[in-house]
Amino acid sequence: MIYLDNAATTKMFEGGADIYKKYACQSFFNPSAGYNKSIEIAKELDGVREHIKRRLGTTKGSIIFTSGATESNNLAIIGSKRNGKWEYVFSLGEHPSVYNVARFLESQGHIVHFVGLTKNGQVDYEVLRRVVNDKTRLISVMHVSNETGAVNDLVKIGEIRKERCPQALLHVDGVQAFCKLPFNIEDFNADLYTISAHKFHGPKGVGVLYVKNPSGLKNIVYGGGQEGGYRSGTENVPCIMAMKYAIENIDVEKNYQYVKGLKDCFIENIEKADGVSYLQTESPYILSLSFSGVNGETLMRALQDKDIYVGVGSACSTKKAGNRVLESMGMNIDEIKSHIRVSFSEELKLDEIRKACHEIIDTYYTILEKVK
């Protein structure tokens, strides 16, 4: 198998699975209980919080454990909402777990602005500058596009916020960036930052919301008051500890350079084929391609018969027609229909990349002959 859909999910580290078993079957205690073994688990969770903050590049703020990116994004946006004539700003490139929350706010009568994308997939900074104002409550912009690999200039966005609306909160969906791109959160001063473990070889069902100032956030889940009252429900200790294992065993700089080599190799091989175009974006982990004259989903299904797995966009929205992100970049319907997404991992080998390119090109030409 050659797995090229790592933006959808990654293979969990086997060592993380061992950690999961340990905390599920041996150190299985509820961290909210009052006896010593539970208190020790609670202390370990606090250690994980500090570890994540260090990886983000800060000692400030709080770490809230959630069930994943969707919950973290919902908590960040709904939890930041306030009564009054506040305005909310989102890019059109956001993941459905942000975009659909924005549409919900709009349906509730709130003033919501959507900022389009440029042809390179980044948010249009000039439009953003014009849209934000002294009534802006929240700006929500993803770090790395899950569709294209475009990396938004968060430092520039932070400067726009400081200049035009210093009272606004900045939320960043960092799902495709954390443990993949080297960065320091203090360089762009995000108030809220979303993380999902299964995007970097951790388990599914666990995520994080970093909150710089918890007093600016309200809970959206009610219950026993866990996670400082911001996210009630017994913490998923096995998954949290397995996530910590993944973070500890990822060398961001080393992986970045290696995966960049994989992407460069893929491009070098795939661009030899007539009818194939691609977006040159900053993240080495994601590559968006179009295969002229062939439906991307048809190509994806044909490749799976050869045990090669690619994506056709966000795994959370592949059953829906069209592609909001690519449309916002100015792509026409034919380009969108012929689109696939290839996403890489440091566990791939160069020989696998070359083989995959050969099979993708061969499969593309085979399908093209049939549809002519």
What contacts 24+ positions apart, CB below 8 Å, involve 294-298? 294/338, 294/364, 294/367, 294/368, 294/371, 295/337, 295/338, 296/337, 296/338, 296/339, 296/340, 298/367
Considering the candidates 165, 179, 316, 357, report the single residue annotated as catalytic: 316
pLDDT value, residue 371 = 84
- How would DSSP label each residue in 35-79? SHHHHHHHHHHHHHHHHHHHHHT-S-SEEEEESSHHHHHHHHHHT
Q: What would the CATH number be for the domain defined by 14-248?
A: 3.40.640.10
Name the E strands within 142-269. 169-173, 192-196, 207-211
Q: Determine whether 179 is an active site residue.
A: no
CATH 3.40.640.10 residue ranges of the chain are: 14-248
Q: What is the pLDDT of residue 290?
A: 96
Q: What per-residue confidence (pLDDT) applies to 291?
A: 97
What is the reported pLDDT for 322?
A: 60
Q: What is the pLDDT of residue 318?
A: 46
Assigned superfamily of 2-9+251-371:
Aspartate Aminotransferase, domain 1 (3.90.1150.10)
Residues 6+ apart with CB under 8 A from 44: 241
Cβ neighbour number for residue 121 with a 10 Å cutoff:
26
Per-residue pLDDT tens listing for the chain (372 residues): 999 999 999 999 999 999 999 999 999 999 999 999 999 999 999 999 999 999 999 999 999 999 999 999 999 999 999 988 999 999 999 999 999 999 999 999 999 999 999 999 999 999 999 999 999 999 999 999 999 999 999 999 999 999 999 999 999 999 999 999 999 999 999 999 999 999 999 999 999 999 999 998 999 999 999 999 999 999 999 999 999 999 999 999 999 999 999 999 999 999 989 999 999 999 999 999 999 999 999 999 999 999 999 999 655 544 455 699 999 999 999 999 999 999 999 999 999 999 999 999 999 999 999 887
- pLDDT at position 9, please? 98
User: What is the location of CATH 3.90.1150.10 in the chain?
Assistant: 2-9+251-371
